[in-house]
């Protein structure tokens, strides 16, 4: 334990610095596979902007790194502790500072949980649109730092599209405000956009002004079961060709259905090998749902007819289709995106890879965005490490990335590069583009104390 | 004329470099007031990415600046020539390179005119959503460089929200590609967002991948006349409180109505002192329009009843409510935005300022976004310069900016800072935020050859 921790204990109030073993372990990792386990020197709980500034100042010049953390639900290792770091947990800065119904904006501290903001907004007929499946636990600060997507992003956009302004503590402890309190504003460079998705490497987000959208007055949900995944993926394109913009368009494969049946005792597998869940919303929801049903029926789906409670229950199930199992070295969830027209091809390629290499595969997709979450896993042979099987797993992982890129895709649609996906970044971005990012990082954080070894 | 021009003539084909007086004058300025008139050394017309690279390389190291130009419809002087510069007109790079209906994306050269892309997309039931009122002439490259807004941005977002990737020639002549061809992608920092709105100061945009949206199948337009502007502005909030999201929500004051009557022989002034134009679109358009009508009637408006051709004609008129007169030193159009709840207060403040100082005022607003375009002018006294009146004009201009900022607004909602609004930027952004931008500029353009003296 270094002197920085003593210094922090001196500066902050009792209970704000925890260097106990339990806390260190609990805050050492997020939900991603761990490739280089490190314990932080301490976990620090700022309660104000001034606290954050004091912590950053205490670390600056000492070589102690700062890993910002929201709820630790990240799945790319962005919040994993690194060597000689403190973890800065923003969870206690959880106040909604303003909610302006007529302006349709809110100002929040970074630790506000997504669902809490949404509940507060709902009281005014408003919503904060970006809804990662982790919305009940993940924080707005974490959402901003990862530019989180979610289920209803096909229609309402990702986090970036709802963030108007941020307050950021920079690497020297100074505080800046970027962006605007208005819906539109183009004065100067888009610094707000630069911080969104920067995964704690350019500054600590200590305040966020968001735009709220209208809670839809009507929601219709259609569940369509298909004999196979390819036909379901084709259904996504068919809805697009009908020029209907659903709020939610989620695609679940047979493996995912089987898993949901296992956990929840449902009978999804009996009804099809793939499920396409579509939700339309707004004043046109009923008419849109009707077009969706017609189009999917014509494409060979078994479609729920009623304005269906059951379909809505399925969306709830989908929201929880991750999270029961945590990824580890035997089980890795991916997050590629491909142009929508390649969905079918990409899933076919995944199937082929997985069966070639004897690796288990299940896939869910935010299909409206072409954003896929394949999960690859191998069986644990009685608890002991099977090096050969692990090699096969990594082979398939690598191939799945290469295939996505070859189709014009990206290595991460919404989860961020974090620590885990760094190894693939060079395949997506050539050296000159990476070099620009390093230089931007250097500009904001010359000592490299903010979440080193992440994101870029 | 410097040796750079000779060099450019040598490198490029005949007809690609024009140093004739007519071209120099024609390309010296955009549509903004001119505060420092300069002729460029030459106007250069690249026809390929390689041409742009060659031009940039030829200028690098010589101290000759490069002012990129699309259609020159900018109203902030971003495309004004500066001392010792060439104007790089992208107008000949006007090909739509790809239009992918299933992916709902298009790839275009920067000189493609907004309306041309929209026509091409419409053939597939798609649209490129950001629609500045200049859409018939302005270019996608110019729209990207200014992060242009438009009429239907309240619902569909601004240019940034539709741009997925850009190809950019940097200040050293190298070419990079940023972003992703997919709807979502969070690998690395958001360089795309950094180029969007950077007004030609960080690089030359030579290619743009955009996301397309669905052409709405149904559009309903409501025109509501009010006895005064304040009531009309209150109508904007009332529609918001009814949680209806119109595609278009434009507010015109009495001065604007009078001007339209003058030009088009209409009788708008006879019908009210202010007009609120609302367009709903999509499957719910009719139902939304009905709610809008009810709400506006309750607020004292005279509302068109029929699904009205007339109202649509009014939207067309609105699209052309600028452009008949060009701003000059006697007439300046502004572009502030305020939080929506302050629309009423802000317009009241404008009225007071204008009458206090004896300056003419008319206002149109993209009211859904809280983005106002007041135009201030003074009468020309027989063609001679009236220094006292000019002083009054500038006083009101300054006050209008200060008032917007005091209400939590911005000095530019969509037009950009360019050259003209630089004087107010310091009021909006404190020195540390400006300094970060200068350092980003330096990182991308160490010699300062890209559109110096603009944007930041
Ligand atoms: C069950 C489950 C479902 C999920 N579904 C989705 C989904 O649908 N869409 C999606 O995009 N993601 C999803 N995720 C991933 C994860 O929830 C998101 O990335 C989320 O945005 C992380 O928020 P967090 O508060 O947990 O941040 P953390 O995991 O604590 O941190 C994430 C990153 O942000 C940085 N960070 C956190 N707070 C700050 C701050 N205030 N300032 C600067 N940097 C900060 C961290 O350093 C780290 O790099 C899911 C995860 C789980 C476990
Ligand atoms: C009648 C009228 C109505 C208008 N309505 C709107 C409106 O509703 N919303 C709105 O936002 N604006 C509006 N404008 C302003 C203007 O049309 C927009 O700013 C538009 O985006 C400019 O496009 P352009 O092609 O004319 O660019 P230009 O005026 O030529 O250039 C604008 C800026 O972008 C830079 N630039 C241009 N091309 C490139 C490139 N390829 N690479 C790098 N930099 C480049 C220039 O250097 C300059 O700084 C209007 C203007 C007029 C005259």
CA-nearest residue to A148 within chain B is B186
Report chain A residues whose CB lies below 8 A from the CB of B188.
417, 425, 429, 433-434, 437, 455-456
Q: Which residue of B has its CA nearest to A244?
A: B214
Q: How far is the CA of A423 from the centre of ligand 1 (A)?
A: 20
Q: What pLDDT is attached to residue A235?
A: 96
Distance (angstroms) between ligand 1 centre and the Cα of A87 equals 15
List CB contacts of B129: < 8 A, sequence separation 6 or more: B152, B153, B156, B157, B161, B162, B212, B213
Residue A209 contacts B, CB cutoff 8 Å: no
Alpha-carbon dihedral B121, B122, B124, B125, rounded to 10 degrees: 120
User: Rounded to the nearest 5°, which phi and psi values hold at A72?
Assistant: 70, 25
Which residues have C-beta within 8 Å of that of residue B38, sequence separation ≥ 6?
B28, B80, B81, B82, B83, B85
CA of B299 to the centre of ligand 2 (A): 37
Strands B336-337 and B331-333 turn out to be: unpaired
Fold of B96-214: 3.30.465
Q: Which two tokens stand for residue A370?
A: 């072409």
Share of chain A above pLDDT 90, in %: 87
pLDDT at res. A1? 43
Domains B219-319 and B331-420 share a fold: yes
Which are the contacts of B399, defined by CB distance < 8 A and separation ≥ 6?
B353
Query: Which chain A residues contact residue B182 at CB under 8 A?
Result: 337-339, 369-371, 408-410, 413
pLDDT at B1: 44
Closest atom of ligand 1 to CA, residue A144: 21
- In the stretch 64-83 of chain B, residues with CB closer than 8 A to chain A read none
User: Which has the closest alpha carbon to B444: B208, B194, B203, B205?
Assistant: B203
By the CB < 8 Å criterion, does B188 face chain A?
A: yes
- Ligand 2: residues with CB < 6 A are B 30-31, 67-75, 78-79, 90, 110, 132-134, 138-139, 141-143, 145-146, 148-150, 199-200, 204-205, 322-323, 414-415, 418, 451, 454
- Interface contact B185, partner A, CB < 8 A: yes
Q: Which residues of B touch A288 (CB under 8 A)?
A: 283
Chain B: closest CA distance from residue A191 (Å): 7
Q: Is A173's Cβ below 8 Å from some Cβ in B?
A: no
10-residue mean pLDDT profile of chain B (456 residues): values are: 86 97 98 94 98 98 96 97 98 98 97 98 98 96 97 93 98 98 95 98 98 94 94 95 96 92 89 95 96 96 77 82 66 94 94 94 94 92 77 95 97 96 96 98 98 97
Answer yes or no: is pLDDT of A322 > 80.
no
Give A-chain residues touching B181 at CB under 8 angstroms: 339, 408-409
All residues at 6 or more sequence positions from B304 whose CB lies less than 8 Å from its CB, including other chains: B221, B222, B223, B224, B310, B311
Mutation target vs B (from A283, A413, A415, A454; most B CBs, 10 A cutoff): A283
pLDDT one-digit tens code per residue, A352-386? 999 999 999 999 999 999 999 999 999 877 666 68
Strands B85-89 and B42-44: parallel
The candidate with the shortest Cα–Cα distance to A190, out of B296, B200, B196, is B196
3-state secondary structure of B81: coil
Q: Who contacts A6 (Cβ-Cβ below 8 Å, separation ≥6)?
A: none
CATH architecture of A219-319: 2-Layer Sandwich (3.30)
pLDDT digits (tens, 9 = 90+) for A87-105: 999 999 999 999 999 999 9
Give the Å distances, CA to CA, from A353 to A328, A334, A346, A376, B28.
Answer: 20, 14, 11, 11, 58
Closest ligand to C-alpha of residue A67 is: 1
Break chain B into its structural domains and give their ranges. Answer: 96-214, 219-319, 331-420
Query: Could you tell me the distance, in angstroms and rounded to a whole number, from the CA of residue A143 to the centre of ligand 1?
Result: 5
A188's tokens: 């100067």
Mark yes or no for CB contact B240/A102 under 8 Å.
yes
pLDDT at residue A2, rounded to an integer: 52
What residue has token string 């607020």? B299
CA distance A211 to A157: 12
DSSP H or E segment with residue B374:
strand B371-377
Of A85, A49, A17, A70, the residue nearest A449 (C-alpha): A85
Mean pLDDT to the nearest integer, A60-67: 95
Predicted interface score ipTM higher than 0.90: yes
- As given in the structure block, the two tokens for residue B455 are 């944007």
Nearest CA to A110 among A144, A78, A77, A161? A144
Check residue B281 and give left, alpha or beta (phi > 0: left; psi -120 to 50: alpha): beta
For chain A, say whether B186 makes contact (Cβ under 8 Å): yes
Residues A163-200 have pLDDT tens digits of 999 999 999 999 999 999 999 999 999 999 999 999 99
- Rounded to a whole number of angstroms, the distance from the CA of B186 to the nearest CA of chain A is 6
Of the ligands numbered here, which is closest to the C-alpha atom of B320?
2
Within 13 Å, how many C-alpha atoms sit on residue B84's CB side?
13
**Ligand 1 midpoint to CA A160 (Å):** 14
Closest-CA residue in chain B for A409? B182
Ligand 2 atom at minimal distance to the Cα of residue B78: 49
Q: What is the pLDDT of residues A28-42, one digit of tens each?
A: 999 999 989 999 999
Which is nearest to B85 in space by CA: B54, B61, B51, B59?
Answer: B59
Contact A185 B410 (CB under 8 A): yes
Global pTM value:
0.96
**Chain B CB within 8 Å of residue A410 CB:** yes
How far apart, in whole angstroms, are the C-alpha atoms of residue B151 and residue A346? 38
User: What does the alpha-carbon distance between residue A130 and residue A138 come to, in Å, rounded to a whole number?
Assistant: 12
pLDDT of residue A136: 95
Pairing of strands B85-89, B65-69: parallel
Architecture of domain A331-420: 2-Layer Sandwich (3.30)
- Please give the Cα distance from B394 to B399 (Å, whole number): 8
Q: Name every chain B residue with its beta carbon within 8 A of the beta carbon of A131.
A: none
* H/E element, A333: strand A331-333
Residue ranges of A 132-151 with Cβ closer than 8 A to chain B: 146-147, 149
Compute φ and ψ for B2, nearest 5 degrees. -85, 175
């Amino acid at each position: 334990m270094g002197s920085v921790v003593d210094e922090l204990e001196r500066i902050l109030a009792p209970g704000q610095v925890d260097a106990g073993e339990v806390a260190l372990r609990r805050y050492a990792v997020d939900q991603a596979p761990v490739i280089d386990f490190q314990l932080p020197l301490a976990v620090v709980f700022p309660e104000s902007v001034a606290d954050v500034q004091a912590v950053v100042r205490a670390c600056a010049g000492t070589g102690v790194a700062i890993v910002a953390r929201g709820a630790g639900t990240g799945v790319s290792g962005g919040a994993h502790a690194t060597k000689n770091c403190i973890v800065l947990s923003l969870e206690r800065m959880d106040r909604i500072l303003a909610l302006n119904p007529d302006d349709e904006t809110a100002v929040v501290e970074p630790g506000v949980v997504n669902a809490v903001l949404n509940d507060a907004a709902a009281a005014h007929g408003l919503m904060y649109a970006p809804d990662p499946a982790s919305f009940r636990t993940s924080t707005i600060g974490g959402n901003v730092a990862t530019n989180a997507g979610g289920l209803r992003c096909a229609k309402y956009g990702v986090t970036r599209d709802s963030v108007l302004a941020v307050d950021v503590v920079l690497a020297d402890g100074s505080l800046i405000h970027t962006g605007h309190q208005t819906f539109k504003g183009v004065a100067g460079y888009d610094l707000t956009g630069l911080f969104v998705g920067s995964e704690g490497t350019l500054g600590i987000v200590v305040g966020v002004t968001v735009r709220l959208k209208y809670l839809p007055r009507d929601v219709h949900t259609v569940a369509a079961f298909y004999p196979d995944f390819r036909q379901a993926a084709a259904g996504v394109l068919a809805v697009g060709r009908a020029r209907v913009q659903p709020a939610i368009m989620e695609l679940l494969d047979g493996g995912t259905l089987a898993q949901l049946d296992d956990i929840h005792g449902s009978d999804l597998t009996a009804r099809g090998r793939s499920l396409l869940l579509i939700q339309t919303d707004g004043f046109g929801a009923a008419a849109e749902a009707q077009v969706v049903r017609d189009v999917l029926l014509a494409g060979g789906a078994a479609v729920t007819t009623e304005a269906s409670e059951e379909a809505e229950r399925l969306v709830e199930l989908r929201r929880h289709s991750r999270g029961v199992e945590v990824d580890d070295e035997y089980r890795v969830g991916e997050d590629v995106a491909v142009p929508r027209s390649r969905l079918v091809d990409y899933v076919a390629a995944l199937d082929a890879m997985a069966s070639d290499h004897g690796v288990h595969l299940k896939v869910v997709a935010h299909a409206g965005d072409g954003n896929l979450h394949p999960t690859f896993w191998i069986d644990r042979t009685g608890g002991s490490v099977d090096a050969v099987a692990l090699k096969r797993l990594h082979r398939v992982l690598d191939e799945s990335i290469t295939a996505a890129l070859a189709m014009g895709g990206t290595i991460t649609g919404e989860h961020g590069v974090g620590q885990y996906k760094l190894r693939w970044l060079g395949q997506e971005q050539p050296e000159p583009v990476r070099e620009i990012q390093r230089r931007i990082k250097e500009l904001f954080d010359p000592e490299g104390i903010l979440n080193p070894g992440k994101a870029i």
